[in-house]
Amino acid sequence: MRGKRKCIYTSTKENNDKKQPMKETSESASWFAMRVFMNKVWVCRDLFNIYNNVLEGLNPMTDQFPNDMQGDVMEYYAPFYYDSYTNAKGHQVDVKKPLIPSLFFMRSSARQAECLERNLQGRAHLYRRNTGCRPPVAIPLKQMQMFMMVTSGDQEGIEYFEDGAFDWQKGERVRVIDGRFKGLEGEIKRIRGDHRLVVTVEGVCAVATTYIPRCFLEKLD
C-alpha cells in the first residue's frame, strides 16, 4: 500500500533554503541540463560532489582532478522525493527516488559542465541545440527559477513531460498572484482536455501544475 509522495529539495547544499532567489554571481556560470541514462541521477550527483568538494577546499584531491574542472564552486539541482509504502510486514518504508529520473541540472561554466559529461563516460549527455561539438544549451535563469518553484514543493497533481512530448500551440501567458504557486509564470495549455499552467525549460522539458483557479491568475502582455 502506497502513501503520499513527500518531495525533498536536493542541491549542492542539502539544507539549502529553496525559497532564496538565485543570483548571477559570474558571467561564465549558467544552468545546464543533462539527460541521464538508466535513471542514474545519483551517479551524476556523486561525481559532481567529488569535484565540487575539491573546489570548496573540502577534499585535497589533486592528481586526479581534471584541469577543465578548475573554476568557481558549482551548484546542482536534482529534486528527490520519499516514496512511502507499507511492506508485507505492515511496516512503513520510505524510499528516496529522483523526481525526474532522466534529468540532472548544474550551474557552472560550460567548460566544467562538459568536463563532468566526459568523466561520466556515457552515463549522461548535456543538452545541445544540435549534435556534434556545439556548446551545451545554457538555460535562462528565470526559466530555471520557475522550474524549481514548481518542482521543489508538494508534487500532488504535478506532471512532467520530455521536450517534444506534445505539439503544443503557444498558450496565454499568465502569472500566479495568490496561492501555493504565487509568483509563478507560465502558459495556459490544454493537456488531455484540461487547461493547465505549464512551465517550460526550452529544449529540455516541461512541467504542468495542478489546477489553479482562474481568479489566481493575472494575464501577462
Q: Which CATH number does the domain housing residue 141 bear? A: 3.30.70
User: Do 54 and 147 fall within a single domain?
Assistant: yes
Q: Cell for 55?
A: 573546489
User: Do 46 and 17 fall within a single domain?
Assistant: yes
User: Do 69 and 146 fall within a single domain?
Assistant: yes
Q: Whole domain around residue 217: which residue ranges?
A: 157-221
User: Do 127 and 146 fall within a single domain?
Assistant: yes
User: Do 144 and 185 fall within a single domain?
Assistant: no
89-124 pLDDT, tens per residue? Answer: 999 998 888 888 899 999 999 999 999 999 999 999
43-67 pLDDT, tens per residue? Answer: 999 999 999 999 988 777 666 789 9
Q: How many Cβ atoms from other residues are within 10 Å of residue 31's Cβ?
A: 24
* Structural domain ending residue among the three candidates 136, 153, 170: 153
User: Do 147 and 164 fall within a single domain?
Assistant: no
* Structural domain ending residue among the three candidates 133, 153, 173: 153
User: Do 130 and 95 fall within a single domain?
Assistant: yes
Mean of all residue pLDDT scores within the chain: 83
Which pLDDT does position 1 carry in this prediction?
A: 45
Work out the average pLDDT over 70-91: 89
* Structural domain ending residue among the three candidates 130, 153, 176: 153
User: Do 131 and 190 fall within a single domain?
Assistant: no
User: Do 180 and 199 fall within a single domain?
Assistant: yes
* 40 pLDDT above the threshold of 80: yes
Confidence of residue 193 (pLDDT cuts 50, 70, 90): confident
Report the candidate in 163, 105, 113 with the shortest Cα–Cα distance to residue 139.
Answer: 105
User: Do 33 and 73 fall within a single domain?
Assistant: yes
User: Do 26 and 113 fall within a single domain?
Assistant: yes
Please give the tally of structural domains in the chain. 2
User: Do 118 and 140 fall within a single domain?
Assistant: yes
